[in-house]
Amino acid sequence: MINTGLAAAIVGLSTLCTVIYIGLGFLPRPSRAAAIWSLSFAGYMVASYLWVGAEAMNSPALRGVSSGVMLGMLGVIWLGLRIRRRAGGRGGRGLLGVLAMTAYVIGAPLLLGVFAESEFQLTIVRLTFAVGGVFAALIMAELIRIGPHLRDEVLPLALATGAYVILAAFNLLHEAVRLMTDSPVGPAADISRDINVMGSLLFLVSSVTTLLLLTRQSRQPEPVAGGTSFTAVASERLRRAEAADDKWWGLLVIRLDDPITLRAASSTHAFDHLADRFGEVVRAHLPAEADIQASDDTTFTVLLPRPEGAVRQVLARLLEEVAEIGPDSPLAVRLSASVGWAGVDAVGYDLDALVEAASTAADRATELGGDRWERVTRV
C-alpha cells in the first residue's frame, strides 16, 4: 500500500497540472506538440485516479496497469518534443523511434498488469522503469537540441529527466543485487514504490513548467489591421499589384543577428528586453503602409510597397536604429540585423516564393557578417 498522503498528492497534483497545461498552454497556443503534451498530462491524471482506486480495492492488476500508463507518458512527452522540432517520423530512424514509443506506451501497462501478482513482479517493474529511463534520456537529448536560447525554460525538465535516468539505473542495479543475494521482495518493493511516487510528483511539476513555457514561447503569427492574417492580406495585395503590373512591391525578412549567442550571454529577462526593443525599432521605422508579421521574437516578415531607392533608405535607417539599441540594453554589445530583400520584379508575385527568396538572402547577409541587407536580383 502507498502512503495515503502521497496518493492524495499525486491525484491532486496530476489534476492541477492537466488543468493548468490545457488552460494556459494548449488552448491559447494550439499545436500538434501541445495536443500531444495535453494527452500525456490527461493520461497521467486518469492513471493516478486508477492507481488510487486500485489501492482502495487492493487490486494489484489495476495498480500495475495504472503504473504502466504513468511510465508510458514519458514516451508521449518525448514524441511531443520531436514533433515540436518537426523531426517526428522522418526517415527510418524517426519511424523506429515512434514505433518503440508506441510499443512502450502499450506494453508497459500490459506487462505490469499481467505480472502484478507474479513472483517476478518487482523485476518487471524495475525493467519497465529502466526502459522509461531510456525515454527520459531521449527527452534530455531533445531538450539539449533546443539550444541555449531557451535554457531557462528547459532547465526544470532537464534536471528531472537527469534525476530519472539516475534513479532508473539505481533501481536496475539494486534489483540485480537483490536477485544475486536472493533478498526478500517485500521491503524492496515498498521502498521502490514510495521512491517512484515521490519521483513522479517532482517529474510532474518539472514537466508542466517546461512544457508550458515552451508552448507559450511559440509566437502566434500576428494579424494585421482588422484581424486578418498577414498571409491573406499580403497575398491579396500581391494579386492586385500583379493585375495592375505594379513593380514597386518587395518582401523583407529582418532578423536580429546572433540571437543564440545573445541569449546564452544574458538572462531570460535581459534577452526578452532586447527582443522587445528590436521589435519596437522595426515597427517604428517601417512605413505605415507596410504589412508586418513577427515570425518569432527576433524575425520579422514585411511586405513593403516602395521603389528600390526608397527601400534602401528605409533599410539604412533601420540598421542604424538597431545599432543604437545597444547602449540602452542590459548587454553592453552593439546589436545588428540581417535583412533579405526580394522584389516582385525579380521573384514574381507569389508570396511563398518571395518569403523563401528573402529568407535565403537574409541567410546570405548573416553569413557575410550581418549588419547589412542582401537583395535578390534574379531567381
Instruction: Give dist(CA 74, CA 200) in Å, integer.
Output: 11
Question: Structure pTM?
Answer: 0.67
Decide: 76 and 40 in contact? Cβ < 8 Å: yes
User: Where is 340: in which H helix or E strand?
Assistant: strand 337-343
Q: What is the pLDDT of residues 316-340, one digit of tens each?
A: 999 999 988 755 555 667 889 999 9
Instruction: Give dist(CA 259, CA 273) in Å, integer.
Output: 13
The closest of 45, 199, 191, 59 to 132, measured between CA atoms, is 199
Instruction: Give dist(CA 73, CA 47) in Å, integer.
Output: 10
User: What is the DSSP code (8-state) at residue 25?
Assistant: I
Q: What is the pLDDT of residues 280-310, one digit of tens each?
A: 999 999 998 899 998 888 899 999 999 989 9
Output 255 or 262, whichever has higher pLDDT: 255
The closest of 135, 144, 12, 129 to 64, measured between CA atoms, is 129
pLDDT at 211 over 90: yes
Q: Is the dihedral of CA 130, 134, 135, 140 positive or negative?
A: positive
Q: What is the DSSP string of 173-214?
A: HHHHHHHHHT--HHHHHHHHHHHHHHHHHHHHHHHHHHHHHH
- Output Rg (C-alpha) for the chain, integer angstroms: 26
Fold of 225-376: Alpha-Beta Plaits (3.30.70)
Q: What is the pLDDT of residues 103-152, one digit of tens each?
A: 999 999 999 999 888 888 888 988 999 999 999 999 999 999 887 767 88
Long-range contact list for 285-293, CB < 8 A, 24+ apart?
285/314, 285/317, 285/318, 285/321, 286/314, 286/318, 287/314, 291/224, 291/230, 291/233, 291/234, 291/237, 292/222, 292/224, 292/230, 293/221, 293/222, 293/224, 293/230
